[in-house]
Structure 1
Amino acid sequence: MTPLKNLATYYVHLLSRLGLVKFSISLAAAIIFVALAIQMSVTFALTGQVSAVDLIRSVFFGLIITPWAVYFMSVVVEQIEDSRQRLSKMIRKLEKMRSRDLQLTNKLKANINQLNTEMDEREKAETARRQAIVKLEQEVKQRQQAQQELEEHSALLRSFIDSSPDLVYYRNEQGQFSGCNLALEQLVGRSEKKLIGLTPYDVYPEDIADKIVETDHQVFDNDEPLTYEQWLEYPDGRKAFFELRKVPFYGRNGNRLGLLGFGRDITERMRHQANIEKANRDKTQFISTLSHELRTPLNGVVGLSQMLLDTPLNDAQRKQVNTILLSATTLGNIFNDIIDLDKLDRRRFSVAMEPMDFNALLTDIETLTEMQLQNKGLAFNFEQIGPIPRSIVADPTRLRQVLWNLTHNAVKFTEVGGVDLLVKAQNLSEQEVQLDISIKDTGPGIPEDQFEQIFAMYYQVESSKSATGTGIGLSVSRQLIRAMGGDITVTSEEGKGACFTISLAVKLDEIPDEAEQIDHPPLDILLVEDVELNVTIAKALLEKLGHYVVVAMTGAEAIEAFDPDQFDLVLLDIQLPDMTGFDIAKHLLQQYDKADLPPLVALTANAVSSRQEFIDAGMLDVIHKPINRNAVVHCFNGVFAIGETLSTEPDSSPKQALSRSSQPILDLDLIEQFCHQIGEKVLTDSIALFRQVMPDYLQVLETNLYAKDQDGIASEAHKIKGAAGSIGLARIQRLANKIQSPELPAWWDNVEDWIHQLSHDYPEDLKLLDKMIDDLSIEQY
């Protein structure tokens, strides 16, 4: 096939090259030639000879066949050409297609490569995704574990915080609660859910909220922790004293989120302090008793010595009596130091500024100092510079005590030479004068480095051989003078003595030239006193003033001798062998009607108790021992309402001029009406309820007292007053009324004692009430 194909290709190529005519001629010549050759070869082969006919016949055959061959070949060539051209077109198309296919193939390869790359990348991404999923699952699992651990820790922490008795809470910067523990929920009476979003003003009373918000602002403004103490109130009214600490707290980004608050209940600490104060009161009572027991014989010595000095005596006797008086006075001043020391320890020390005869004070100090120096054979010099005022406003007892301490020390430390008393006065204004009182001695002196130490409690100069005594006089003296607005200074040179100077600015006052005038008629007085010496002195003084005196030396004698129609006044010693003056007063107030009782006045050597304590016990006034004329006259003038509207009838009894009320323990009329009109059972049920609620009332009352919450004290006392009054506890009602009345004089000084008395008296009063109800039941039966 290949040669034929090549021949056909050659034939077509030749036709195309020669053209149809030349090709036809050439083809005819070739056919003729071929025909001749074939004819001649065949003829020659068959016959052995070639004839002309054969040649002609071959030529003729060639000529005849040539057109048909040319035509046939032309058609074939044309068809072949057409086929070739179509084939060429097809080849070109195929080439284009091939080229396109090649492009497509290349593109497909590129796409395949890209797809393979993308598939690789997807496989990598899928692998990474699967790895990420695995990692995420691990992280989720770890997070779940961490969340579980966190929840467990949170639950543990919450349990720990809730089990803490301390307050724990936190507020945001807007002052709103964000959370708290169980202790705070109990304090405010709200759950944490209800508390969240509230401000302190929504939770606490306004006064407490003000302090809380103020301290919150301090924490935020200063951006630092703050610790302070505050009373907070429970829903039932109980108050607790908390030590509160607030600290700012921050988020992870450093932004401040609010504050954390912690509160520790230190009420027990306050109670401990109250116990300490009670121990101080017990100590005070002991000192009071000791003072009374020591002063009682001492006052007798002082009084008798003064009475002896008014009688004719020789020089030796007068000197001996002066020595006795001096010794008694010295002991009295030591007692004053001890009492003042106790008051300083209890922080209840105070001075009573009042008009006093300054000249008389200086005369007494001069006399006593000169007496001491005479016993030691020393010189005394008293000098006054400037117009010394006769009357000033000061505390006469304290000033006398200080001057005595300083002059006594000067005498005690001086063995050779003497003592100088220099009083200098300089007018500061028409109503005020500067006093400088100097006591100079010629004793051993004081080292300069000990000038301040000698004013310390119990300190004594080590180099002094005469340093005997309590060592509290100078310390108490300086504090007394400073309490009056002055000071004590010292200058000294060792071996040449010391000089103590009192500098005090005082106001001037006018006093009458004579002793206080008696503005009351002669009185029939029942004097209740158990010490024979005191009886002698008091009886002599009272009779000298024109009064008639009946003496009772025990409480039983006083009650037996008392007749409200016979006596105009009762002077009650507080400490007696069988009972106290308070017991006598209580008995008389219960036994007699208010209009029939004469005034009761306390007569005591107790320098610790305040005048208000005696007034609260039903006495109108108090006279302190040793008694003197002016004190007695002043007291009697005040007791019998001098300056008030009295009866002008000559025979008018002093006790009728006095308006006072008896103070029964029970309201008998109310109780009887209650039993008769409402019924005994209702009353007994009310008493049982009172017994039940009273301890809670007292607990709240005491916490308010520790908190110094005046309104809280008054509010709770008002409840007690109403409850006590409704069942006839008159004494408890009166006590509660005092406690609920802050406007009373010295209310803060007495309210603690009233509350203590309230808690002590109400069980006994309830027993009396029960007994009375039983008696009424028996009578009705």
Structure 2
Amino acid sequence: MEELELLKRRIEREQKARKQAENILEEKALALHTTNEQLKNLNENLAKQVQLGIAELQKTEKNYQELIESVQDIIYKISPQGYFTFVNSVVENRLGYTESEIIGRHFTELIIPQYVESLITVYREMIGQKMESTYNEFPVKTKDGNVVWIGQTVRLIQGENTVTELVAVARDISDRKATEDSLRATQTRLATLITNLQKGVLVEDENRKIVLVNQQFCDTFGIQTKPELLIGMDCSNAAEQSKHLFKHPNIFLAKINKILDKKRLIVDENLQMADGRILLRTYIPIFLEKQYRGHLWEYSDITEQYNARELIRKSEEKYRGIMNNMELGLLEVDNNQIIIRAYDSFCQMIGYSQEELVGKSAPALLLPSDSDDTLNKNQEERKKGSASSYELQLKKKDGSRLWVIISGAPIFGDDGEVVGSMGIHYDITERKLLEQELEQAKLIAEQARQSEKQFLANMSHEIRTPLNAIIGMTHLLFDTRPNKQQYEYLDILKTSADFLLTLISDLLDMAKIEAGKVEVQNHPFDLAGLLRTTQRLFQIKIEGRPIEINLMIDGRITGYYIGDDLILNQILLNLIGNAEKFTEKGSIDITVKQKRQDEKFDWIEFKIEDTGSGIPAEKMDMIFQKFKQINSHGHKHKGTGLGLSITKQLVEIQGGTISVNSDEGVGSTFTFLLPYQKSETEALPTTHEIHFAPKNLNGSKVLVAEDNIMNQKYISSLLTKWEIDFVIASDGKKAVEQAQKKLFDLILMDIQMPNMDGYEATITIRNTNSLNQKTPIIALTASAMLDQKSKAMSAGMDDFVTKPFAPNNLLSILQRYIGSNDSVVKQPETLAISYDLDQTSLEQLYGDDKEYAAEMFETFLEDVLPDFYQLQNFVEKKDWENLSKESHKLKPTLAMVGLNLMESKIVEIEKNAKEQANEDWLISAVNTFVAEMDGYLPTLKQRLKTLRED
């Protein structure tokens, strides 16, 4: 029983233990289930995170890829062994290779062979020294065989103590390389050219420091220092130091200063050296973006040009030196213009390789379409076996243009037939650009000159018109029988007005200003009377001031002298007025005496001495310079600074001399000497005599076209006094209307009028069925411009009267064209035309070189003159374009033989032909021009004969 009890208790214990074990197992199972659920949730969360990470990574990778693909540079990776592991798509655009064609290849396969070793060395140093980055430039081959220059930056990508790969960003720098090469070539070419040029060349910067000088320059001026040692030296005092080398040192020095002041191009200027040599000088200012950056001097010794043998020898040396030192492009083509051979120099010039040129059509590949005619014309010469030179524009490989001079010659085969041609090409692009710039500058200058001329013409008209009334009314006042004092005042008023007229004429006449001359009109005049009038004029002017005007005249000076009294009057007024301006008290003494006599002239000395402030010694050299004023004791006086300069010129053009002596604080003495001839007859009647019209003018009918009321009154008073019927028209349009209504014996036509000017009115009257179609028309012009007067004649006017005019001027015109002849047919042969040559211009051109002058006159008469008659052929055909071109071509030849006035006329013809503004005017102008050229023919032939005899 006990055993059973024990067994029972044991079974209970085991059941209890099993129950506990089951409970534990149930707890464990529950815990395990919970853990599994947690793991499941964790896995699901991890899966989601991984998916999000993958998506984000894919997005980043895409962005990175797009960034790489968007740049215009080549991006690639290579292994440390040099094999491509990655490349972006840009490589295909730049080099022609696809990504698959690049990956796995060694980088050396793309590099030009001579650059491979240096690039490998760079990569080894980078890896060995663990350099962060490097930059290199080298050429690579494209898939199609071309060469592209690459500039690349390479960086190392490192792992743990090892280099895993290299990353590079490479950019196409071919254009920059080409530009650099071209610039270096150009700089080298120019430097070599200047250094070896057979001319002395000196280049200075804007501060007069030497930038470049060649040996020829040193040799020309005997400079012992080597050219390279002169670089950087200051040339400010060079002209002063070297002026002794020249025949006219002061002229040379003044010219240098003037050139540097104006900074304008001067080409082929002759210089005479003290040792007898002749140099040819060219000055070229250098401007960059309209800012002055220095200048270039070029000197050539042309002395030996007078020796034919030496000229040939030096010419050969010069051109041989140029050919040896210039880069010339050679090209061979067959008769069909197919390129057979292109030399390296030509390839470099044009941008193509020889392989790209050979076998191609030269015109199709290299010529712009507008150059075909030039090439075809010269190609025909080649086929005939003739050589020629011509200028042509070529297209470079990059599309840009360059200008070249081509010297072409035929190539002959074994049988003597032309099988092709060779062209030697010289790049003149820079010269062409300079020519274009110079042409533009010339155009701008011409426009400015025309504007200035128009301004001066307008100013002349505006000043002369009221002056005409002043002078005219003065003449009318003389007719009112004034008393003695009034007569004296009127005489002084008239003298002053006449002087003002002369001064305005000299200053406003563009032709005189441009020619730098004033015409001397010699005629008998009362010298003593002129001096006394001048004295009285200044006595009235300084009345009330403590200054005496004293006049002392040599007793031998009596009667009349032949000379230009207006010019003398201007000289005296300038000098006495200058003395009066600087003299506060004391006296102004005018002493005139006969200095000496020779077979032809009485030399009269005029001395104007004052007690004024005087001139400082250091400023005496400036006294006769233009636009220079000598200030006295700090006071600046009114004026342009032209007075004494003009005075000196006026004295010298009459063959005289002028000088000055002065002591500061004491006074000044101006002395000038002039040659005059003693006149055996008295002077012409004074212009203020009362004139009466001849009986045959009474009742004549005159049409007056004048818009100025004061001038209308002046002319009306004269015509009324002369018993001449007249009609006033206040503008050109009304003048034309009056000419349609009534027949007149004469028409006085003002030039500048409203509604219709005098030119238009005259052309209308002459070219319409008018009662006055052949009536003499006289221009009333206030213009001092010679071309305005020429234009009036070309428009159909018969003569002109320049305002202001005196009564006798107008009366002589009326007598000439009306007179006793009832016919109103135009009589051009009555016009007084002077066929004199411009002596001043010829002297400036030829000096004493009569042989050269004779050669130019002979060339003009034999070769040039016939071309002027061709102008009428263009007129008959109404070929205005060629008329303009031919006029432009012939224009410069006229001044070479002293026909300066005819030059101004042909300029007007050229201008109107270009604008095609008025065909009737052109027909008349050309016919008149040719007729006047015939008139000059005897004068030209006589001049040639005289030159040959001398």
- Contact 1:388–1:424 (CA<8 Å) still a contact in 2? no
Equivalent position amino acid for 2:782 in 1:
A
- Contact 1:520–1:636 (CA<8 Å) still a contact in 2? no
- Contact 2:883–2:913 (CA<8 Å) still a contact in 1? no
Equivalent position amino acid for 2:575 in 1:
L
| 1:589 paired residue among 766, 779, 786 | 766
Aligned-partner Cα distance in 1 for 2:478–2:737: 37
Tell me the matched-pair count. Answer: 512
- Contact 1:604–1:625 (CA<8 Å) still a contact in 2? yes
String of CA shifts for 1:531-569, please: whole Å, max 9, x gaps. Answer: 222223333345555644433222223222226973222
Aligned-partner Cα distance in 2 for 1:187–1:412: 72
- Contact 1:721–1:737 (CA<8 Å) still a contact in 2? no
Partner of 1:772: none
Judged with a 3 Å threshold, the aligned counterparts in structure 2 of structure 1 residues 594 and 562 are, in CA distance, closer, same or farther, namely closer
Equivalent position amino acid for 2:914 in 1:
S
Superposition CA RMSD, Å: 5.8
Question: Is it true that 1:761 corresponds to 2:939 in the alignment?
Answer: no
Question: Is it true that 1:622 corresponds to 2:791 in the alignment?
Answer: no
Unaligned stretches of 5+ residues in structure 2:
1-112, 115-138, 140-144, 150-173, 198-314, 330-345, 351-365, 394-402, 406-424, 831-858, 922-950
Partner of 2:619: 450
Q: Which has the higher contact order (CA 8 A, sep 6+)?
A: 1
Equivalent position amino acid for 2:904 in 1:
D
TM-score by length of 2: 0.44
String of CA shifts for 1:680-735, please: whole Å, max 9, x gaps. Answer: xxxxxxxxxxxxxxxxxxxxxxxxxxxx9999998998777545523598x99799
Question: Is it true that 1:493 corresponds to 2:663 in the alignment?
Answer: yes
Judged with a 3 Å threshold, the aligned counterparts in structure 2 of structure 1 residues 728 and 285 are, in CA distance, closer, same or farther, namely closer
| 1:356 paired residue among 513, 523, 532 | 523
Judged with a 3 Å threshold, the aligned counterparts in structure 2 of structure 1 residues 481 and 380 are, in CA distance, closer, same or farther, namely same
Judged with a 3 Å threshold, the aligned counterparts in structure 2 of structure 1 residues 466 and 593 are, in CA distance, closer, same or farther, namely same
String of CA shifts for 1:3-50, please: whole Å, max 9, x gaps. Answer: xxxxxxxxxxxxxxxxxxxxxxxxxxxxxxxxxxxxxxxxxxxxxxxx
Equivalent position amino acid for 1:477 in 2:
T
Partner of 1:264: 431
TM-score by length of 1: 0.52
Aligned-partner Cα distance in 2 for 1:591–1:393: 47
SS at match of 2:515: coil
- 1:145-164 equivalences under 5 Å are none
- 1:297-308 equivalences under 5 Å are 297-308=466-477
Higher strand share: 2
Aligned-partner Cα distance in 2 for 1:363–1:377: 20
- Contact 1:333–1:405 (CA<8 Å) still a contact in 2? no
Partner of 1:680: none
| 2:876 paired residue among 712, 725, 728 | 725
| 2:581 paired residue among 383, 387, 412 | 412
Equivalent position amino acid for 1:748 in 2:
E
Cα deviation for residue 576 of structure 1 reads 1.7
- 1:197-216 equivalences under 5 Å are 203=388
Question: Is it true that 1:477 corresponds to 2:647 in the alignment?
Answer: yes
String of CA shifts for 1:573-619, please: whole Å, max 9, x gaps. Answer: 22223332222222222225899422222222222344433323322
Cα deviation for residue 279 of structure 1 reads 0.9
Unaligned stretches of 5+ residues in structure 1:
1-137, 140-144, 205-231, 236-241, 245-258, 641-649, 662-707, 767-781
Cα deviation for residue 762 of structure 1 reads 4.8
Cα deviation for residue 269 of structure 1 reads 1.0
Partner of 2:220: none
| 2:906 paired residue among 751, 756, 764 | 751
- Contact 2:525–2:683 (CA<8 Å) still a contact in 1? no
Judged with a 3 Å threshold, the aligned counterparts in structure 2 of structure 1 residues 335 and 653 are, in CA distance, closer, same or farther, namely same
Question: Is it true that 1:295 corresponds to 2:295 in the alignment?
Answer: no
| 1:438 paired residue among 571, 586, 607 | 607
- Contact 1:735–1:754 (CA<8 Å) still a contact in 2? no
Aligned-partner Cα distance in 2 for 1:402–1:304: 27
Judged with a 3 Å threshold, the aligned counterparts in structure 2 of structure 1 residues 717 and 267 are, in CA distance, closer, same or farther, namely farther
Judged with a 3 Å threshold, the aligned counterparts in structure 2 of structure 1 residues 719 and 623 are, in CA distance, closer, same or farther, namely closer
SS at match of 1:488: strand
- Contact 2:765–2:772 (CA<8 Å) still a contact in 1? no
SS at match of 1:566: coil
Range with bigger deviation, 276-285 or 502-511: 502-511
SS at match of 1:746: helix
Judged with a 3 Å threshold, the aligned counterparts in structure 2 of structure 1 residues 400 and 327 are, in CA distance, closer, same or farther, namely closer
- 1:256-405 equivalences under 5 Å are 264-265=431-432, 266-308=435-477, 311=480, 332=501, 335-336=504-505, 338-339=507-508, 347-359=514-526, 361-362=530-531, 364-374=533-543, 376=545, 378-385=547-554, 386-387=556-557, 390-394=560-564, 397-405=566-574
Equivalent position amino acid for 2:794 in 1:
D
- Contact 1:488–1:502 (CA<8 Å) still a contact in 2? yes
Judged with a 3 Å threshold, the aligned counterparts in structure 2 of structure 1 residues 520 and 321 are, in CA distance, closer, same or farther, namely closer
Identity of aligned residues (%): 24
Equivalent position amino acid for 2:908 in 1:
D
Equivalent position amino acid for 1:576 in 2:
M
Which has the larger Rg? 1
- Contact 2:746–2:817 (CA<8 Å) still a contact in 1? no
SS at match of 1:462: coil
Aligned-partner Cα distance in 2 for 1:509–1:281: 43
Aligned-partner Cα distance in 2 for 1:427–1:272: 53
Judged with a 3 Å threshold, the aligned counterparts in structure 2 of structure 1 residues 393 and 715 are, in CA distance, closer, same or farther, namely same
SS at match of 1:264: helix
Aligned-partner Cα distance in 1 for 2:694–2:388: 62
- Contact 1:572–1:603 (CA<8 Å) still a contact in 2? yes
Cα deviation for residue 290 of structure 1 reads 1.8
Partner of 2:709: 532
SS at match of 2:631: coil
Equivalent position amino acid for 1:447 in 2:
P
Equivalent position amino acid for 2:632 in 1:
S
- 1:79-118 equivalences under 5 Å are none
Question: Is it true that 1:601 corresponds to 2:778 in the alignment?
Answer: yes
Aligned-partner Cα distance in 2 for 1:444–1:243: 66
- Contact 2:378–2:388 (CA<8 Å) still a contact in 1? no
- Contact 1:564–1:596 (CA<8 Å) still a contact in 2? no
Range with bigger deviation, 710-719 or 436-445: 710-719
Aligned-partner Cα distance in 2 for 1:294–1:472: 20
Aligned-partner Cα distance in 2 for 1:563–1:377: 65
Aligned-partner Cα distance in 1 for 2:741–2:654: 44
Judged with a 3 Å threshold, the aligned counterparts in structure 2 of structure 1 residues 194 and 561 are, in CA distance, closer, same or farther, namely closer
Question: Is it true that 1:570 corresponds to 2:747 in the alignment?
Answer: yes
Aligned-partner Cα distance in 2 for 1:364–1:536: 30
Judged with a 3 Å threshold, the aligned counterparts in structure 2 of structure 1 residues 547 and 305 are, in CA distance, closer, same or farther, namely same
Judged with a 3 Å threshold, the aligned counterparts in structure 2 of structure 1 residues 720 and 512 are, in CA distance, closer, same or farther, namely same
- Contact 1:393–1:509 (CA<8 Å) still a contact in 2? no
SS at match of 1:656: coil
Equivalent position amino acid for 2:797 in 1:
M
Equivalent position amino acid for 1:571 in 2:
L
Judged with a 3 Å threshold, the aligned counterparts in structure 2 of structure 1 residues 748 and 328 are, in CA distance, closer, same or farther, namely closer
SS at match of 2:675: strand
